[in-house]
Structure 1
């Protein structure tokens, strides 16, 4: 399949595996890249030397393009970027910050830069900063999300109308049918997170993967907007957050309740009650854990089948 995204990244299919914290290590990223998509390492849960190790192992595991997702609020971002440049990572996805901060520097080093946004306003700012593409992520997505609660169905055509650079859709995409829908709306490719959490190669804890597969409709909620909006599964920690809201807790009290390493505790260590379990609404239609390569194959087969079915629709 050839389009602006496959040409930009040098990949076979316009499927990007999201660089999720505690899930996107070298095994997952290399598996997706080897399958024809674009694998991303999730630097948000890595110390600089851990990122160096994962880049090295990813290079050994695949000869195909891969990238690194870097949340720009990371305290050691200077060190992360230094390692990325030194180790000649070809593609960087930035998020949670001003794209103008690092885009020019990375592009001077020959690196392709993509920025994750949740609104038309920020998509335009990213384009102005010189990024090569944007990921427009809708309200359905897991993890940290936009405050405006704009759904993917609305966000993609709105962003497409205003930008001229390639557009990647994210949020609620886990199947070939949803991939086709996003591309009909104007996306050149898709970024997939939650579906790849439920893969054999994801570094997240098996108990968390099983909880994702068991999730049903309404089992996730976007909350903690006073700090940084995050969509998570409803569990013991989520109930503590709701109780805090019921007594009108201040942002400082919410921050104290969140504490440190809450996401690691849940997603990486497998504490399903006291941990923060970040995942998207689409978890309700994820029913199994399977190899990342099989996920890519299934998505493309379903995409092709759906495309043919649409051609045969009678109105």
Structure 2
């Protein structure tokens, strides 16, 4: 399959594995890249030297293109960028910040840059900043999300109408059928997060993976908008947040409740009650944990099958 995304990244399939904190280490990124997609190392949960180690190991595990996702709110982002340039990472996805801050610097080093957005407004800003592509992420997505609650179904055609650069759809995509749907709406490729959390190679804790597989419709909710909107599974910590809202807690009180390393505690260490369990709505249709390569293969097979089904109707 060849289109603007496969040509941009030099990959076989227009499937990008999201750079998720505590799930997207070198094992997952290299497995997805070896399977024909684009694997991303999630730098948001890594100290600079840890990122260095993951990039080096990823290079040893695959000869295919891979990238790094860098949340721009990271306190030592300059150190991360120095390592990325030093180790000649070919692709960087930036998120949670102004794309103009690092895009020119990275492109001058020959690095392809993609920025994650949740609205038409920010997609246009990213295009103006000179990025090579944008990821438009809908309200369904897990982890940190947009404040406007625009769904993928509404967001993708709205962004497509306004930008000229390649568009990657994200949020609620875990199957070949959903991939096809977003491509019909105007996307050139898809970014998949939640489905890859439930993979053998994801670095997240097995208890978290099993909780994702067990999730049902309505088990996730977007909350903590006063700090940074985040979609998570409902658990004891989530109920503590809801109780804080009922007593009209201030942003500072919510910040104190969140504390430090709450996401690590849940997703990496496997504390299913007191940890923050970030995951997307599409977890409700994920029923097993399997190798990343099988996920890519099955998505592409279903994508092609769905096209044939539509042709025959």
Range into which the TM-score falls when normalised by the shorter chain: over 0.9
**1:175 corresponding residue in structure 2:** 175
> What residue number does 1:301 align with?
301
- Superposition misfits of 4+ residues, deviation over 2 angstroms: none
Report the equivalent of 2:50: 50
Partner of 1:133 in structure 2? Answer: 133
Aligned pairs for 1:259-278 (under 5 A) are 259-278=259-278
Name the CA distance, whole Å, in 2 between partners of 1:310 and 1:153: 19
2:86 maps to 86
Corresponding residue of 1:286: 286
Which residue number in structure 1 is paired with residue 149 of structure 2?
149
Matched with 2:9 is 9
- Per the TM alignment, residue 66 of structure 1 is displaced from its structure 2 partner at its CA by 0.0
**Offset, 1:133:** 0.1
Give the SS at the match of 1:114.
Answer: strand
Offset, 1:269: 0.1
Cα distance per residue 1:185-220 (max 9 Å; x no partner)? 000000000000000000000000000000000000
Mapped to 2, the partners of 1:311 and 1:149 lie a distance apart of: 33
Q: Find the counterpart in structure 1 of residue 124 from structure 2.
A: 124
* Other-structure match for 2:255: 255
- Structure 1 alignment gaps of length 5 or more: none
Please state whether the residue corresponding to 1:20 is helix, strand or coil. coil
Give the corresponding residue for 1:193.
193
Aligned residues: 313
1:311 and 1:83 map into 2 onto residues whose CA distance is 48
Q: Distance in 1 between matches of 2:257 and 2:233?
A: 17
Tell me the alpha carbon deviations over residues 100-158 of structure 1, each in whole angstroms, 9 at most, x when there is no partner. 00000000000000000000000000000000000000000000000000000000000
Deviation of the 1:93 alpha carbon: 0.1
Provide the residue aligned with 1:210 in structure 2. Answer: 210
The gaps in structure 2 that reach 5 residues or longer are none
Partner of 2:160: 160
- 2-structure distance, mates of 1:173, 1:37: 15
What is the match of residue 310 of structure 1? 310
What is the deviation of 1:253? 0.2
Question: Equivalents in 1 of 2:280, 2:206: separation in Å?
Answer: 17
Q: Does 1:102 align with 2:102?
A: yes
**TM-superposed deviation, 1:312:** 1.3
Question: Match of 2:162, SS?
Answer: coil
Distance in 1, matches of 2:311 and 2:10, equals: 28
- Secondary structure of the 2:305 match is helix
Give distance in 2, aligned partners of 1:167 and 1:245: 37
Q: Distance in 1 between matches of 2:245 and 2:89?
A: 43
Match of residue 63 from structure 1: 63
User: In structure 1, what is the Cα distance between the partners aligned to 2:58 and 2:67?
Assistant: 10
- Corresponding residue number in structure 1 for 2:28: 28
Aligned-residue offset at 1:36: 0.0
Give the C-alpha shift of residue 309 in structure 1: 0.4
* TM-score, reference length from structure 2: 1.00
Distance 2:202 2:45 in 1: 13
Q: Could you say what the CA RMSD is over the residues aligned between the two structures, in angstroms?
A: 0.2
- Separation (CA, whole Å) in 1 of partners of 2:198 and 2:233: 14
Task: Return the alpha-carbon distance in structure 2 between the equivalents of residues 114 and 133 of structure 1.
Answer: 5
